[in-house]
Amino acid sequence: MRIDRVARPVPRPTDVLVEVESCGIIPNMNAIFSGTLWNHLPALPASVGLDAAGVVAEVGELVTDVRVGDRVYVNPWLACGECAYCRSQQPMLCSAAAFQGYFGFFPQSRRRLEAYPHGGFSQYITAAPHRLVTLPPNVAFDQAARFGYIGTSFAALRLGKLEAGGWLAINGITGTLGVAATLLALGMGATRILGFGRNADVMARLESIAPDRVRTLPLGERPLGEWIRENTETLGVDLLLDCSARAASAAATADALTGLKRGGTAVNIGALTEPLAIEPIRFMTSRIQFKGSNWFTTGEGQLMAEMAHTRVLDLSHLETWAYPLEKVNDALEAIRARPGGFVNIVVNPQH
């Protein structure tokens, strides 16, 4: 990437202008920007960057409930508001959905990207008020710039109906999604969190947060379903959260599915692409479900902000690596190493 000078954006009457203090770098960003995947990228030259947090600098004349000086996270999810899904109040299923500063899901998503052409690796971006999450004073901008991955895990836990006292297994617990899910599940009252991954240091750190509630297993050491049942009185877990990355083997997911309790649910959020073999008769007789979840609503983002405000969600565990805007390529290089789910890599455009 290169740094360019462009005109300061002017918000439409129904939009706001946000001065960006921090923008997150996510592990998948290098792969997306390679242009070799299915994602529909904005036309070049493009202003990019996902997960921006900052201060409202200007409000459009028709905006009534947002004030200059408000501290906000900008949910980058762009929905068209006019397709059949949007009209039925399901914007997460929008037929022209896109991420501001990132990519579109469909060819027709290009119009959404053109409507909001500035990404979070910029000093200023425009946004619609309904995409703003108000940040409490104790949530730092760098922490809010992690909301994309935290929110993805949060929405999946809610979709899987995790309840206080519930039992949860996390495939890929050491990654960005897995660590976020663990911190959230602790705050949501899960009493048994069983995780498997490859980073021994991260697993040890997760266990140290709540030794009586978090147990981990290195992938490949034991059959997963067997281990899950050993730790749940042979019943299995209520929810399996699958954070398997795009290039991961489906074998671990298939094994973990055997550790689901009757009536349990598995939710995939890791973008696993390898085909997964299932036994439909077991899904039928045990009334188990396999679902997919992608991103989160602004309302869910506001719930997370409230959880962080009261420290039910403890963001102090995150370790921030911050880079100035001119070092954005160094930040992208740092994320290639996937340093573990506790590391929060951000760009600070104002510095």
Residue 27: what pLDDT? 81
> pTM of the predicted model, to two decimals?
0.96
Residue-wise pLDDT for 320-347, tens only, equals 999 999 999 999 999 988 788 999 999 9
> 3-state secondary structure string, the chain?
CCCCCCCCCCCCCCCEEEEEEEEECCCCHHHHHCCCCCCECCCCCCCCCCCEEEEEEEECCCCCCCCCCCEEEECCEECCCCCHHHHCCCHHHCCCCEECCCCECCHHHHHHHHHCCCCCCCCEEEECHHHEEECCCCCCHHHHCCHHHHHHHHHHHHHCCCCCCCEEEEECCCCHHHHHHHHHHHHHCCCEEEEEECCHHHHHHHHHHCCCCEEEEECCCCCHHHHHHHCCCCCCEEEEEECCCCCCCCHHHHHHHCCEEEEEEEEECCCCCCCCCCCHHHHHHCCCEEEECCCCCHHHHHHHHHHHHCCCCCHHHCEEEEEEHHHHHHHHHHHHCCCCCCEEEEEECCC
Question: What is the average per-residue pLDDT within 8-15?
Answer: 97
Residue 35: what pLDDT? 85
351: confidence class by pLDDT, cuts 50, 70, 90: confident
Residue-wise pLDDT for 179-234, tens only, equals 999 999 999 999 999 999 999 999 999 999 999 999 999 999 999 999 999 999 99
Residue 214: what pLDDT? 98
**How far, in Å, CA of 296 to CA of 282, rounded?**
30
**Residue 317 predicted with pLDDT over 90:** yes
- C-alpha distances (whole Å) from 295 to each of 51, 77, 151, 193, 280 are 12, 8, 7, 22, 27
All residues at 6 or more sequence positions from 298 whose CB lies less than 8 Å from its CB, including other chains: 75, 77, 130, 131, 132, 133
Residue-wise pLDDT for 66-125, tens only, equals 999 999 999 999 999 999 999 999 999 999 999 999 999 999 999 999 999 999 999 999
CB-CB contact of 147 with 133 (8 Å): yes
**Residue 30 predicted with pLDDT over 90:** no
